[in-house]
Structure 1
Amino acid sequence: MSTQKRARACDACHSIKIKCPLGSTGEPPPCERCTRLGKECIITPPKSQKDRVAELEAKVQALTRLLEAQGLASLGSSDASDEYGTDQTRALDSGGGFIAGTKKRRLEESRSDRLMGTESGSRKEITQGITAVSYGNATSGLDQIVSVEIQARILHRYTTEVYPQFPVLALPADHTLEVLRSSQPRLLQAITYAVGWPVLSAEIQDNVAKLLMSDETAMAAGEKTLELVQAIQMACLWYWAPKHHKHLAAWQLIEISVDIALSLGLGGPTPFASASQTIVKKGESVDTLGSWRAWLMCYLLSHVASIYLRRPNANIWTPYHDECTAMLEYSSQSLPGDRLLGKYVRAEHLCEQVVSQLQLNNEDAVLDISDPAVQTTMQTLQNRIVDWQAHIPASLRLPGLLFWQHVATIHLHESVLYTANNKRSFAAPFVAERLSVTDFPAPAAVTPEHVSSLLALRTACHALLDIFDAIDSQALLALPTLLYIPRAAYAQYILNKMYIACVAAGNTFGSVLNADELRVDEYLGKAIAVATRLTAVVSHGAPASMLIGTVRTREWFQDYKATVKTSKVYDTGTAAAYVHRHEDPEQWQPPQGLLDDLAWDDFLLMSGAEPGVPADSGFNDRFANAATERFAHDAPLDGDFEL
């Protein structure tokens, strides 16, 4: 019988389950990875079974004494696990799903009970075994802002509430808080920043944002790792702009993540792969599934930014994207959440196909939808939308995924609203001040193709907003802000543009589409109701802050509706085909407290400072604090509209 000692991996490599050279060669530390990353390389001697049992018994006794000292011994272990679960119930099970016994925290409970330092007794039990050991500047900086106990609650929220809705970052079952703190502290910062605001106060959330979102030069100049790419992507998806801080816009973060991913070789066999690809694949990039997810999210985020800003997407779809998506969906090593993520990526690719083939990002191209060639292209794209929907299995038909069908349909038919000069107005921000009442389509001959697109556009906008309104608060707060809130605002924006095209002086669409059937006021009211609902849960959250813009849009719509009805142009019959169903415009006041302490900077998704992009295409110039003050006094914002 051989007495030779078995080679062991170092603790750092073992904690994240990657291959360590010491485990195969038996050499003494440090290993190559720890040397490269500047980590302390230690090999902990194995413990005998007897020692492990004694250690666990000692921990149980210590926890029991602690519970008794705090008067919580009467709470059974089942109570604590029901609210938060043990480490095992908080984590993914071996199949990648969630253990059925875990209960989700109620988001509609008292807001004060969720703020820092106001935990209930059952919440304390989940965090009592956690130690505040600092693992360097990244963890110590976060610890100074958010306690370790609150970090545990936020991580629990991600795994139980956010991941099932949008599985962008799959944490292995053994990635407990201590593992993240010791091996991936930047990722923990990003999770705290992205999904922590229902738990944190506004002030603390701002401090977390400032900690994570340093200037782009520092991010780009730092060590390039898969962890950094994933952290930036989390920040982009749940973007939150801290107050009184030089904003690092979402599109800048997206470009940084793409550049780092390319330098790491995550883009596959492309000309951009550098010499560092070999080094990465020996170390960090051993998480192949994580690399595929990160590269696909680079594509998804790049396209989202390009369509919001209406600029070409440099990160185009390649066969390697197809390969990564197929592997996520069908590989035996993939987690169940990976299949859902693959469907999200394919949905965004579907939108890109519509945008690119109909040249929506080309300001100089205005297609005639009655052209047979254009109709052939639109029919082909419509078939792809139907095909995408048909390939979604029943188990994945979540509202957040079906939402994309209507996004693609809106893009498919929005060309019916284009003129030679208004195409730029379809870029963000989607606010009332960008709605022109003079530049709208009015073809001399309204064709069946125009009618078909108008009806399809109306139906898609209504369906998208109905899905958005039906999503409960918990799920809506868990979905990525960048992907959903602006698209709901865009659907409202399109309805307003359709209304103008049906009632404005000189219109021709009003003869074939009754503007009342657009139900603009009703759907704006639904969006305000969603904002009110979210504000009741957490007043400083980015989704609620963004939806507040609907208040101004509804005011604009009601003013415009009243003006059109009483104008001489209407009386002379230029728009006589349009008949109002309501004699008087509805009198409406914003819900009490909805506009209190509104931070318009939270509306920031992108900056207009990008070279070649007009400043008015970004949220920064439209929603400054000065604009908020003018809005509060009912004075017009810059860029007044004419009635």
Structure 2
Amino acid sequence: MQGTALEVHDELVREMMRVLGDEVISRGQRSLELVQALLITAFWNKSTRKDQQASCYQVVQLAVDMGVDLGIAGSSWQPSPAAYFARVEDTTSPEARRTWLACYIALSTSSIDMRRPNTVPWDHHHEECLLYLEQAGETSDLLLCQIVRITRLVQEISSQLHLFHLATYVDGNDYDTHLTIRRLKSEVDIWTAQIPHFLATSQILKVLRHVAMVRLYEVVLHTRTNRSSFAAPFIPGRISVKDFPAPDHIIPPLRTALEALVGHCHAVVDTATNMDPALVLALPTFSFAPTVLYSLYVLITALAASTGPGNTYGQCLAKDCFKIEQCTLKLRMLTSGMKLLDPTMSCWTTRFFDATGWLEEWYNDYATIIQRYETFLVI
């Protein structure tokens, strides 16, 4: 609906949600096509300028629950009593398997963004669906399968580093933590090595790989009290200026991890901003644009943890290594290209990337404050 007049856009969104609500909630209909429609609504979510619609996270849960009721989730998941006789005839068809893996991506994205445990974790049926599509699916299924594989790895990273359990603190300045990080990094490297050669240059997979690494190293920015601040929405100022890690004695693996963290944040920005604006607009808003915002948020958090008063990470990261000005320039150029294709900003992806302007504004304000502080110290 790029370029659609705002009034027409809003009416189309309202009608789409009305039809889905009528079919799913009012009439209680269940079908593979409805699961797919719900997933499309969530992945490429739209909203009107004034009214409130169901959130994409609610729509994902509806899609997953309907998938379970239809029987495409495998034998480990029983349908609800009301839907016991609503199973689809062929629960293991390529389309059913494809749809269930898409449900996994959607639910995992929700889980990772909100820092909540995945309610339908990876199981044997997921693995069976994945292997089937890799061996007997269509060519386009191979990219889907690679996205599923890296999504599963990010889930594993989040689980092993307790990102879903906010009461459990993982110390980024502890050798045991870095043993876990090293093992998980090895798993990401193994995934990278097995990507089919014709997908090895995929910019989408490159972004997802670097985002996985950002999530892996994120723990070095955690304190006992700031961990919940790394959940969506990824906006500046969520972390108190006094709530950054500042160990007196930084162990060598932490130094390496901090450098790697900044490098992967830059790689996310570099890869995304080198993509064709038309491709970025076509990618699912729900699972792509927020990953770039997340990486920017982590980069800014690392900057504050390294340059703020009393912060000790400055021993490892020089102020000029963050390259904020270069990042903002690249993002502005990509956003300009997207606005040419989507002048009414009807796509949430355009709005998300346009909102990255906060990075430049926040950085300018922060740099001014730090400059004043350093001047005061000299005086």
> What is the CA–CA distance in structure 1 between the aligned matches of 2:375 and 2:219, rounded to whole Å?
27
Evaluate the alpha carbon distance shift between residue 572 and residue 421 of structure 1 in structure 2; reply closer, same or farther with a 3 A threshold: farther
> In the TM superposition, what whole-angstrom CA distance separates every residue of 1:5-35 from its partner, at most 9, and x where no partner exists?
xxxxxxxxxxxxxxxxxxxxxxxxxxxxxxx
Amino acid at match of 1:512: C
Offset at residue 238 of structure 1 (A): 0.8
> What is the CA–CA distance in structure 2 between the aligned matches of 1:403 and 1:237, rounded to whole Å?
17
> What is the CA–CA distance in structure 2 between the aligned matches of 1:383 and 1:422, rounded to whole Å?
27
Contact 1:238 1:480 in 2 (8 A): yes
Aligned counterpart, 2:134:
329
Aligned counterpart, 1:300:
105
Contact 2:299 2:322 in 1 (8 A): yes
Aligned counterpart, 1:343:
146
State percent identity of aligned pairs. Answer: 29
> What is the CA–CA distance in structure 1 between the aligned matches of 2:230 and 2:328, rounded to whole Å?
18
Q: CA RMSD in A?
A: 2.0
Aligned counterpart, 1:553:
359
Task: Point out the more displaced range, 266-275 or 515-524.
Answer: 266-275
Contact 2:175 2:253 in 1 (8 A): no
Aligned counterpart, 1:387:
190
Contact 1:369 1:449 in 2 (8 A): no
Amino acid at match of 1:389: T
> In the TM superposition, what whole-angstrom CA distance separates every residue of 1:156-210 from its partner, at most 9, and x where no partner exists?
xxxxxxxxxxxxxxxxxxxxxxxxxxxxxxxxxxxxxxxxx23633332222211
Task: Point out the more displaced range, 202-211 or 509-518.
Answer: 202-211
The answer as to 2:243 corresponding to 1:243 is no
Evaluate the alpha carbon distance shift between residue 370 and residue 441 of structure 1 in structure 2; reply closer, same or farther with a 3 A threshold: closer
> What is the CA–CA distance in structure 1 between the aligned matches of 2:78 and 2:87, rounded to whole Å?
15
Aligned counterpart, 1:280:
87
Offset at residue 568 of structure 1 (A): 5.1
> What is the CA–CA distance in structure 2 between the aligned matches of 1:339 and 1:532, rounded to whole Å?
32
Segments of structure 2 that go 5 or more residues without pairing to the other structure are: none
Alignment partner of 2:15: what SS? helix
Task: Point out the more displaced range, 548-557 or 233-242.
Answer: 548-557
Alignment partner of 1:243: what SS? coil
Offset at residue 440 of structure 1 (A): 0.9
Evaluate the alpha carbon distance shift between residue 207 and residue 514 of structure 1 in structure 2; reply closer, same or farther with a 3 A threshold: same
The answer as to 2:6 corresponding to 1:212 is no
Alignment partner of 1:210: what SS? helix
Aligned counterpart, 1:16:
none
> What is the CA–CA distance in structure 2 between the aligned matches of 1:553 and 1:447, rounded to whole Å?
30
The answer as to 2:218 corresponding to 1:414 is yes
Contact 1:492 1:524 in 2 (8 A): no
Task: Calculate the TM-score normalised by the size of structure 1.
Answer: 0.56
Contact 1:209 1:240 in 2 (8 A): yes
> What is the CA–CA distance in structure 2 between the aligned matches of 1:297 and 1:486, rounded to whole Å?
18
> What is the CA–CA distance in structure 2 between the aligned matches of 1:551 and 1:279, rounded to whole Å?
48
> What is the CA–CA distance in structure 2 between the aligned matches of 1:456 and 1:388, rounded to whole Å?
18
> What is the CA–CA distance in structure 2 between the aligned matches of 1:247 and 1:366, rounded to whole Å?
36
> In the TM superposition, what whole-angstrom CA distance separates every residue of 1:484-520 from its partner, at most 9, and x where no partner exists?
1111111111111011111111111112210211112
Aligned counterpart, 2:308:
504
Aligned counterpart, 1:465:
269
Task: Calculate the TM-score normalised by the size of structure 2.
Answer: 0.93
Offset at residue 525 of structure 1 (A): 2.6
Amino acid at match of 1:280: R
Amino acid at match of 1:300: I
> What is the CA–CA distance in structure 2 between the aligned matches of 1:503 and 1:522, rounded to whole Å?
18
> In the TM superposition, what whole-angstrom CA distance separates every residue of 1:251-308 from its partner, at most 9, and x where no partner exists?
10011111111111110111424675665333xx467111111111111111111111
> What is the CA–CA distance in structure 1 between the aligned matches of 2:142 and 2:374, rounded to whole Å?
58
> What is the CA–CA distance in structure 2 between the aligned matches of 1:570 and 1:357, rounded to whole Å?
44
Amino acid at match of 1:392: I
Evaluate the alpha carbon distance shift between residue 476 and residue 429 of structure 1 in structure 2; reply closer, same or farther with a 3 A threshold: same
Aligned counterpart, 1:231:
37
Aligned counterpart, 2:71:
265
Evaluate the alpha carbon distance shift between residue 568 and residue 317 of structure 1 in structure 2; reply closer, same or farther with a 3 A threshold: same
> In the TM superposition, what whole-angstrom CA distance separates every residue of 1:305-353 from its partner, at most 9, and x where no partner exists?
111111211121111101101111112xx21111111111111001101
Aligned counterpart, 1:486:
290
Contact 1:215 1:248 in 2 (8 A): no
Offset at residue 569 of structure 1 (A): 7.5
- 1:77-476, aligned counterparts within 5 Å? 197-198=1-2, 200-214=4-18, 218=22, 219-221=24-26, 222-273=28-79, 276=83, 280-282=87-89, 285=90, 288-331=93-136, 334-397=137-200, 398-476=202-280
Evaluate the alpha carbon distance shift between residue 518 and residue 479 of structure 1 in structure 2; reply closer, same or farther with a 3 A threshold: same
Task: Point out the more displaced range, 204-213 or 509-518.
Answer: 204-213
> What is the CA–CA distance in structure 1 between the aligned matches of 2:193 and 2:291, rounded to whole Å?
23
Evaluate the alpha carbon distance shift between residue 272 and residue 280 of structure 1 in structure 2; reply closer, same or farther with a 3 A threshold: closer
> What is the CA–CA distance in structure 2 between the aligned matches of 1:433 and 1:207, rounded to whole Å?
35
Task: Point out the more displaced range, 456-465 or 512-521.
Answer: 512-521
Alignment partner of 1:481: what SS? coil
Alignment partner of 2:287: what SS? helix
Task: Point out the more displaced range, 450-459 or 520-529.
Answer: 520-529
Structure with the greater relative contact order (CA < 8 A, sep ≥ 6): 1 or 2? 2
Evaluate the alpha carbon distance shift between residue 240 and residue 570 of structure 1 in structure 2; reply closer, same or farther with a 3 A threshold: farther
> In the TM superposition, what whole-angstrom CA distance separates every residue of 1:412-442 from its partner, at most 9, and x where no partner exists?
1010000111111111111123243221110
- Count how many residue pairs are aligned between Structure 1 and Structure 2: 373
Evaluate the alpha carbon distance shift between residue 209 and residue 408 of structure 1 in structure 2; reply closer, same or farther with a 3 A threshold: same
> In the TM superposition, what whole-angstrom CA distance separates every residue of 1:95-145 from its partner, at most 9, and x where no partner exists?
xxxxxxxxxxxxxxxxxxxxxxxxxxxxxxxxxxxxxxxxxxxxxxxxxxx
Segments of structure 1 that go 5 or more residues without pairing to the other structure are: 1-196, 574-643
Alignment partner of 2:73: what SS? coil
Contact 2:234 2:293 in 1 (8 A): yes
Alignment partner of 1:313: what SS? coil
> What is the CA–CA distance in structure 1 between the aligned matches of 2:3 and 2:139, rounded to whole Å?
28
